[in-house]
Structure 1
Amino acid sequence: MTSSTGAGQGGETLADQAYRAISDRLVTLQIRPGEPISDERIATELGLGRTPVREALKRLETERLIVAYPRRGTFATEVQIADLGHISEVRQQLEPLAASVAAERATEHDRTELGQLLAQLEAGGPDGGSELIRLDMAVHRAIYATTYNPYLQDTLIKYDNLATRIWCLFIGRLPGLAGHVREHGPLLRAIIDGDPQKAAALASDHVEGFEAAIREII
């Protein structure tokens, strides 16, 4: 029997697999805000043991995606619109930094992978809201990974997750969703071309545009 800390494919542990799967459900609101979370049910759905699932839930609690109450259970956190300004304040500082650093540190392999994402955006990308959200997340994750700074990467993933939950809450009321995702094209091109100043400016504009779009409808 494989332990929860044993490495699976690509060196990923079972707890890592559980974290990614549960995080995706929480961020895209497949697990609704306030919904109770059963580690036994999730373990069964994912085909994993309860130990890696519990490890994943502990990590998700530190990222404010779930909350555990003594004798009451574990629940998905509510989406707090009041936190939008705080989240944007952090992202406004760190997203341009990540874009700039990625432009400076991208390897040829990174440029190839970013180019593949760029091709998806230039081809129009998916039409469905949930698939657009996942493409947006994939672009952000690829940029963060290209910084080769695990602390910056982990911090930005946390705040991007919180921002994306807010986005998903209003997805049916956001008319420019596809355009918001596809505007990553110039940002990816700046990183691929090794232009840190342009990449930083585009990332800053993207965060500012996201907050403005949400505030227009609340």
Structure 2
Amino acid sequence: MQQVATEPGGEELSLAERAYRAIRDRLVMLEIRPGAPINEDQLGQSLGVGRTPVREALKRLQYERLVTTYPRRGTFATEVNITDLAHISEVRLELEPLAAAQAARRATGTDRTTLTALRRQLESADSGRHDATDLMHLDLQVHRAIYAATHNPYLEDTLVRHDNLATRIWCLFVDRLSDMAGHVEEHGPLIEEIVAGDPGKAAQLARTHVEGFERAIRDAI
């Protein structure tokens, strides 16, 4: 996976932050499989960083429930437990509409440019040019851009963590989902309402999207 080397604004990231984001997304996309042992040396070599940034990243990822450390056994990717879906959805049903509404109120010109560019990418989601991995990466990008547009770091941090956990569940059942492209494309109208500055419609679309996600996963089980 390509490393994220800079912030959208161009600021260079620390080695620890680069390691954290790269390892996080490998865990989220199940490139590191649930239950798999984490080898710090191998991760460091693949990312081109030393052991210290990797260890700092793993500490953060343990807090985010993406890795688990056992005394004398080591660190492992957290198992994906479908029973967590209801708890994750309970949080997202409250906070995703809030984030969409706040993004519609607070999005800057730069935020709107970013979201509009993502909207154009969504338009080709049903053209067959995107495989499942591409679609899930695009889904993550859209969610993270919306959260960033709230300009509330506490809300953004909470939702990124829960969206990451939801995406792991999605990845686990992706082969059984019938209309993945359609689910991702639902973000198009949501982005339009955020860019247009309509918090009420944005919140309503966000809630519908989360409800649809949970329903699709349960139908796939």
Please state which band the TM-score falls in when normalised by the shorter chain: over 0.9
| Shift of residue 124, structure 1, vs aligned partner | 3.1
- Alignment partner, residue 197 of structure 1: 200
Which residue does the alignment assign to 1:4? Answer: none
Residue equivalent to 1:164 = 167
1:59 aligns to what? 60
**Cα-to-partner distance string for 1:98-146 (whole Å, 9 max, x where unaligned):** 0000000011121111110011112336420000000000000000000
Moved over 6 A (4+): none
Map of 2:3 onto structure 1: none
1:169 and 1:29 map into 2 onto residues whose CA distance is 8
State the one-letter code of the partner of 1:157. Answer: V
Bigger mean CA offset, 123-132 vs 50-59: 123-132
1:146 has 2:145 as partner: no
- Identity value in percent: 63
Q: CA deviation at 1:159?
A: 0.2
Q: Does 1:34 align with 2:35?
A: yes
Match of 1:178 in 2: 181
Q: CA–CA distance in 1 between the matches of 2:177 and 2:14? A: 37
CA distance in 2, matches of 1:177, 1:142: 20
CA distance in 2, matches of 1:203, 1:27: 21
**Equivalent-residue separation in structure 2 for 1:176 and 1:206 (angstroms):** 13
- Cα separation, 2, equivalents of 1:107 and 1:76: 37
Q: Could you tell me the TM-score, scaled by structure 2's length? A: 0.93
Q: Is 1:69 aligned to residue 70 of structure 2?
A: yes
- The count of corresponding residues between Structure 1 and Structure 2 is 212
Q: Which residue of 1 aligns with 2:139?
A: 136
Name the counterpart of 1:211: 214
Cα distance in 1, alignment partners of residues 210 and 119 from structure 2: 19
Q: TM-score scaled by structure 1?
A: 0.95
Q: Is contact 2:125-2:135 (8 Å) kept?
A: no
| Preserved CA contact (<8 Å) 2:125 2:184 | no
One-letter amino acid of the structure 2 residue matched with residue 146 of structure 1:
A
1:64, distance to aligned residue in structure 2 (A): 0.3
Secondary structure at the counterpart of residue 67 of structure 1:
strand
For residues 171 and 200 of structure 2, the distance between their equivalents in structure 1, rounded to whole angstroms, comes to: 30
What is aligned with 1:13?
14
State the match for 1:98 in structure 2.
99
RMSD: 1.3
1:42-92 per-residue CA deviation (whole Å, 9 max, x = no partner) reads: 001111010011000000000000000010010001001000000000000
Structure 1 counterpart of 2:146, one-letter code: I
- Structure 2 CA distance for aligned equivalents of residues 49 and 19 of structure 1: 12
Task: Measure the CA separation in 2 of the matches of 1:16 and 1:27.
Answer: 16
